[in-house]
Chain A
Amino acid sequence: MLFLDAERCTGCMNCVLFCSQRNEGVSGPSSARIHVDLNPFSGKYVPLYCLQCRKAPCAEVCPTGAICRQPGEDYWTIDYEACIGCMVCVNACPFGAMFIDPVSEKVLKCETCAGDPLCARVCPTQALYWGSAADRKNYQKTKPGKQTA
């Protein structure tokens, strides 16, 4: 799972730009599968990305069944052959984590880089962290304040 501790986010945008470069081959937040809401005047930076809901509204509303999960995997992928670009999934996501690339008009969501998310690898403060549910306990113990980069 991809965990988030938004308090650690520095607003560096590494997750966003490495995501777009890796997955779409271009640099730009609008082609990334993770977005960061930047608020420089409060110091609040909140990454937004697909939480891989067990019961996923996006998949439920998809008229062509394009959003699917492989047996044994815990992340949802988009089958672009089946996707008709109706964007119903974008409205259905309660977290605003389905995105539309305005240039390619593709719907984008985090597919966890097939189980090895680059965003977590490049996050300088481990605000994003990839691990199992068991790892999560240890992760929460390393609170900012004891944190080094």
Chain B
Amino acid sequence: MKNQAFGWTGKILRIDLSNRHIETEDTLNYATEYIGGRGIATRIAWNELKPGTGPYDEDNPLMIFTGPLTGTPAPYTGRTTLCTVAPQAYPQPWFTRASLGGHWGPELKYAGYDGIVIRGKSETPVYLYIEDDQVSLKDAAELWGLGIYDTQTSLFERHGRDIRALTIGQAGENLSRISIISTETESSAGQGGFGAVMGDKKLKAVAVRGRGQIRIAHPDAFLETCLAIREEVHAPHGFPSEPALDPELVAKYGQKFQACTQQCAKPCLLSHYYTRVPGTVCPNKIYAGQLHCVAGLFPGIPNTFYDWNLGFEAGFEISTFTNDFGLNQWDLLLGIFPWLRECKKDGLVNELDGMEIDLDNPHFWAEVVRKITFREGVGDLLAEGGRRAPELLGFGQEQMEKLYTGWGYAGHWDGHGDRINRIFYPYWIVAALQWAVDTRDPISSGHGYVQSIMNWSKETSPEAGLDWSVIKDIGAQVYGSTKATDAESGYEDKEIPAVWHGHRSIMKDSLPVGDQMYPRIYSNKTQDHRARAGNMLGTSFEYEMFASATGMDIGEEAFELMCERVINLDRAIQIRNYGRSRTDDESIIPAFEYPENLINPLIGKKMALDRDKFLELLDRYYRLRGWDVETGVPLPETLQRLGLADVAEALEE
């Protein structure tokens, strides 16, 4: 096999669980056109995922891909992207993505592989064990039925603590549509129900030990680039506030900073580790683990929509249960539990299987979570996810619709379903566009516009934030339009940042780079408020790391074209396999027609999506993308320009 790969290791593992066949393929068959991660997985799906393939068909490939930067010192790049047909997707399971952090992806690369494509099904439970070039399927009878924590501990006992493992819990074994694939205590491919795909394949875990290295094309330039970027992201910026430990929580629960992902260059506000938290439901237990991002809602937050009161200890305990069972915390915290409360408030239901619905009672949470995992009683229906539950249970459709923005996923930075993210008009219009054209909640790799603007505004960061006029000016520089980030611009030119950040989303899921930290646009430390490291503009960081690691000095325009290629190929899969059309894209509109939750001070009143203006915006988005305005299908010339003539031909058929 030719192996001149830099950044990439050069090999993809292909596993067929049905006949236990294991082989490798050259990464460079795809990488120079599709980057890595989601990009490569999308090309493989176009080539191999036949229309009509469901999540539990033998031919549904579970693809687990790192990228050219995974495992290198490049800041915030330790991630892994998973792609498969997602059971959670609505109205039908379809091909989409999810990503996770921890240390698993880097370990896979040290073992010599950029990714794994897993097809077929095993008849009995197995796990995949990779130790450098030794790859084998091993019996997992003793692991089946264990939670995510015990599975990993058991694998440590067998193979040593230096292995890293991706695992599913009991929720994945029981084919819950809201089951996760996870590593360590809470790094998960959370959305999509991918745990069930692994469970259906009877694949309990993928354990890896790697002792090799990743070669870098331009080692000196790469090191210098990484150091400069690391400096920029690490310097204090004060917004919304600098991360800190709470002395009381340190003393009581052993709070500490924790890298949720390898190459975290600075602890963030979202993630803490606790080494000892006593249980409430199980009072004799002491728990350890990470409380990260959405899990912070478990205790409840007063004066918000999530105002239940479990308290820290019980909240941490319930979070640990869901991590161990392997359940999607987003669907529980932003979907199922608030939905149950709203249904009760509206007099539709008082109890579930004889338990009073009481979100202040940790025993209620624990029991619901357990029933979902083991599909007991009402849990059998809730295991289908919050989007499908109302139809199955026969109540609460209207309440659910206010929480679920699209494609089976609960709200996120949309100003509506998700009531924790501080965002107002006109910025959620871009989120609406992102949601409309995607296959899942787009924000997991799409915070770059909505969150960046809101966090950098004085509205969220009174001390360290930037004036609206500065944000407007920077928008003009980055997107080429003064309307792109203008707080008073309404629907004008919002298609431009939606397209721009669509490409950044591909970079994040393919290089990969961390969504919370990239792209680097704003700064309060430079004269012109543009993020910068030495001579590099913040918006060039992704390309500069890619180019020096892989040696593909192709220029930023060509690099962005690779991202555009992946977006169009993903769209082509939607069209060929699922008949995706403009009508589908428009189906997210009602979710944005509720008045927003926060008021733009420059406008002074609550706004909701204006259907007609949004339809015109969608026209402009399709035109900018080179897609047919009537149908939302990429035009043949667009696909040809992107080197996808074969795709154009297939779509015409």
Q: How far is the CB of B121 from chain A (nearest CB, A)?
A: 30
Contact B212 A103 (CB under 8 A): yes
Contact B257 A125 (CB under 8 A): yes
Interface-lining segment among B173-181, B198-206, B262-270: B262-270
Given A13-B263, A17-B73, A145-B251, CB of A28 within 8 Å of CB of B256: no
B461 on the interface (CB 8 Å rule)?
no
Contact B226 A42 (CB under 8 A): no
Q: How far is the CB of A43 from chain B (nearest CB, A)?
A: 4
Q: Which of A95-133 contact B (CB under 8 A)?
A: 102-103, 122, 124-125
**What is the chain B residue whose CB lies nearest that of A19?**
B73
Residues of chain A with a CB closer than 8 A to B258's CB: 10-11, 43
Contact B234 A124 (CB under 8 A): yes
A91 on the interface (CB 8 Å rule)?
no
Given A12-B259, A17-B263, CB of A41 within 8 Å of CB of B288: yes
A52 on the interface (CB 8 Å rule)?
no
Interface size counted on chain A using CB atoms at 8 A = 39
Residues of chain B with a CB closer than 8 A to A41's CB: 149, 152-153, 184-185, 288-289
B642 on the interface (CB 8 Å rule)?
no
Contact B263 A14 (CB under 8 A): yes
Contact B213 A144 (CB under 8 A): no
Contact B222 A14 (CB under 8 A): no
A18 on the interface (CB 8 Å rule)?
yes
Contact A25 B185 (CB under 8 A): no
Contact A13 B185 (CB under 8 A): no
Given A25-B219, A102-B211, A148-B243, CB of A17 within 8 Å of CB of B72: yes
Residues of chain B with a CB closer than 8 A to A147's CB: 244-245, 257
A7 on the interface (CB 8 Å rule)?
yes
**CA of A29 to CA of B212 in the docked complex: distance in angstroms?**
8
Interface-lining segment among B17-25, B102-110, B495-503: B102-110
Q: How far is the CB of A4 from chain B (nearest CB, A)?
A: 15
Q: Which of B148-187 contact A (CB under 8 A)?
A: 149, 152-153, 161, 184-185
- Of the candidates B185, B223, B263, which one forms a contact with A40 in the assembled complex, judged by CB atoms under 8 Å apart? B185
Given A21-B216, A27-B71, A29-B110, CB of A144 within 8 Å of CB of B256: yes
Query: Contact residues of A with B, CB < 8 Å?
Result: 7-8, 10-14, 17-18, 20-22, 24-31, 37-44, 102-103, 122, 124-125, 144-149
10 further contact pairs, Cβ within 8 A, besides A10-B256, A10-B259: A11-B258, A11-B259, A12-B262, A17-B71, A21-B219, A24-B213, A26-B216, A27-B214, A39-B161, A149-B257
Q: Can you name 24 A-B pairs with beta carbons within 8 Å?
A: A13-B259, A17-B71, A17-B72, A18-B223, A18-B226, A21-B72, A21-B226, A25-B219, A26-B214, A27-B216, A28-B110, A37-B161, A38-B103, A40-B185, A41-B149, A41-B153, A43-B289, A103-B212, A122-B265, A125-B257, A144-B256, A147-B244, A147-B257, A149-B244
Pairs A-B, 3 closest by C-beta atoms? A28-B213, A12-B259, A40-B184
